[in-house]
Amino acid sequence: MNPYIIVGIILLAYFALLIFLWRSGLARRWNISFMGPLVMLRTERGRGALRRIAKYRRFWLAFGSISRVMFLVGMTAMVLLLLWESTLVFSIPKQALPAPQTYLLIPGVNPFVPIGYGLLAIIVAVVLHEFAHGILSEAQKMDVKYMGVLMFVVPVGAFVEPDQQQLERAEPRKRVKVFGVGPGTNMVIALACLLLFLGPVMGSVAPMHDGLVVVSVAGNSSASIAGISPWGEIISINGTNMTSGGDFLNIQNLQPGSEYPVVYLQNGHYLTRNVQAGVAVTGVISGSPAASAGIESGWVVMNMNNTTVYNEAGLESVFNTTRPGQNVPFIFEASNGTLIHRNITLSSEKAVEGVAGQRNIGFLGIYTAYMGLSAVPVGSVLGILKNPFYGAAGPSTYITSGLQFLVLPFAGLSPVPGGLTSILTAGGVQGGGALFWLTANSLYWLFWINLWVGLFNMLPALPLDGGYLFKDNIKLFLDRAAKGRTEEGREKMAKGITNIFSLLVLVLIVWQLIGPRLIYL
């Protein structure tokens, strides 16, 4: 049966059950409540276990104080990150606008978050986050009324409900520990998983060769037709060993359009295939001059503006000499060997060729890659996986290299693809084995999801933990700095400041979603 039909039947049965529980009164009798399509199953069981864990009060109170410091650091970092990302909106080319679902950490909805690893990490992050709130409440003599499971067809999380009246009556110093310990727990889990991932796991991984890892292959290119696929390793081209990006990108002696032998390692097998040299078109932007001229993926750029194009560096240098509105002659070679001549007037869109993002050079509207594939040294790929600050050469580059490690899922490197594992050794064993990579990928996703769940909850915006924590910290500050005001006045001022920051955070998040699209209206 079609899997979409199966999913549809399951969802219909699930919603039918919700309607039955609601109309029959069983939901109220069994202490079940609804949050849209989510079901909250409450119970008083488990509170004894929380109290037993919370009896180590000195430890938990100290951890609550540390979490408050982590909150201040994380909140500052997240606000600065949102402000920085809001400025990047103006430099995103129209053709590179991210899809809205890429901003969501929902496995299966976000195409970069795998369902299996993503669900595992989210369940762990949410359950331990909520339990930490309950433990700190009990450690500070505030009762937990209910514990429970959050359901959407299957369990997707957990929750802990402290006594709301006791929480509201508590001193702000106590509340900040309760709200801060949830994100703090996520950050500690993230750090522990990161250290395990980088240390005993990835520390045992080494490359089999010093070749070039194939990152992507264009569908209609000569490389694709020859059977080369992503995450294989190129050993040599026309007898010349490929050990650096420069070896590949700056090839000068291969005639565009001619075929040359490529030796590569793929899934444990050494293969030799003839691949067409030259810069191949890997994509054409809709509505661009290239699309209007009928340029197709897989064509090789033989000549531009009366200059032979041997490699990508040469193509870029020619584009950098053009200007918008200029009519430029091109010669392409199709996959059947036919030479195609075109005179194309370049436009003034932000360039993807030449100096990327600039409007002062001509825009054709093609994506390209030498031989139709992108390849980087295997040492670089492994370096990124083993070191969050790989390639950092100074203070300013530590931020960019750190972000590079955080976007591994968007580069197709987490989970670590099977093709890549076959050209590596782990613990001295070729390929490392399925269990090894299952552990490695699980640790990375536990780190990744816990980090972002923790940081997101540190944002100074209600109803997030960070919003309540921010409000109570502002109140504590006003208690010292605005003693002339009444208690009610200080409370009102703290609430007003928090609402302003909540609105600011909301605007910054929404701006990232709609800003790039508004610019190109």
Question: What are the residue boundaries of the structural domains of the chain, listed by start?
Answer: 1-26, 31-197+448-455, 279-370
pLDDT bin (cut points 50, 70, 90) of residue 218 is confident
Domain 279-370 falls in which CATH fold?
Pdz3 Domain (2.30.42)
Are the beta carbons of 351 and 363 closer than 8 angstroms? yes
pLDDT band at 35 (very low <50, low <70, confident <90, very high): low
The whole-number pLDDT of residue 307 equals 94
Model confidence at 156, pLDDT cuts 50, 70, 90, reads: low
Q: Give the other-Cβ count within 10 Å of 182's Cβ.
A: 29
Please give the pLDDT value at position 315. 92
Identity of residue 33: S
Q: Is the pLDDT of residue 161 over 90?
A: no
The whole-number pLDDT of residue 209 equals: 83
The most confident of the ranges 25-29, 105-109, 381-385 is: 381-385
Distance CA 22, CA 136 (A): 34
Q: What is the mean pLDDT of residues 155-175?
A: 70
Structure tokens at 87: 């400025």
pLDDT bin (cut points 50, 70, 90) of residue 356 is low
- Choose the weakest-confidence range: 67-76, 96-105, 390-399: 96-105
Radius of gyration of the chain measured on its C-alpha atoms: 28
Q: Indicate the pLDDT class of residue 172, thresholds 50, 70 and 90.
A: confident
Are residues 85 and 103 in contact, defined by beta-carbon separation less than 8 angstroms? no
Residue 3 has pLDDT above 60, yes or no: no
> Does the structure show a pLDDT above 60 at 109?
yes
Q: What percent of the chain has pLDDT over 90?
A: 27
Write out the two tokens for 82.
Answer: 């949102």
Q: What is the pLDDT of residue 154?
A: 60
- Nearest 5 degrees, angle CA 231-CA 425-CA 398? 70
Residues 442-464 have a mean pLDDT of 90
Q: What proportion of the chain, given as a percentage, has pLDDT over 70? A: 89
Give the rounded distance of the alpha carbon of 308 from its chain centre.
39
Q: Which residues contact 340 (CB under 8 A, 6 or more apart)?
A: 299, 331, 332, 333, 334
Do 44 and 146 contact (CB within 8 A), yes or no? yes
pTM for the model:
0.79
Average pLDDT over residues 104-118: 78
Q: What is the mean pLDDT of the chain?
A: 84
Residue 331 has pLDDT above 70, yes or no: yes
Q: Nearest CA to 281 among 322, 335, 355, 337?
A: 335
pLDDT number for residue 325: 93
More confident call, 59 vs 168: 59
**What is the pLDDT confidence band of residue 237, given thresholds at 50, 70 and 90?**
very high
Query: What are the DSSP E strand ranges found in 400-484?
Result: 424-426, 429-430
What is the average per-residue pLDDT within 364-382? 90
pLDDT at 309: 94
Is residue 203 over pLDDT 70? yes
Strands 429-430 and 240-241: unpaired
* pLDDT tops 80 at residue 201: yes
Q: Identify whether 329 is preceded by a cis peptide bond (ω within 30 of 0).
A: no
Look at residue 101 and tell me whether its pLDDT is greater than 70: no
How many C-beta atoms surround the C-beta of residue 455 within 10 A?
A: 19
pLDDT of residue 27: 79
410 pLDDT more than 60: yes
Least confident of 85-99, 252-266, 295-309: 85-99
Query: Buried b / exposed e across 403-417, counting CB within 10 Å, b at 16+?
Result: ebbeebbeeebbbbe
Lowest mean per-residue pLDDT among 37-51, 55-69, 312-326: 37-51
**Regarding predicted confidence, which is higher, 19 or 158?**
19
Per-residue pLDDT at 140 exceeds 90:
no
pLDDT at 491: 84
Which tens digit of pLDDT belongs to each residue from 242-260?
A: 888 777 877 778 999 899 9
Report yes or no: 82 and 509 within 8 Å, Cβ to Cβ: yes
Confidence grade of residue 157 (pLDDT, cut at 50, 70, 90): low
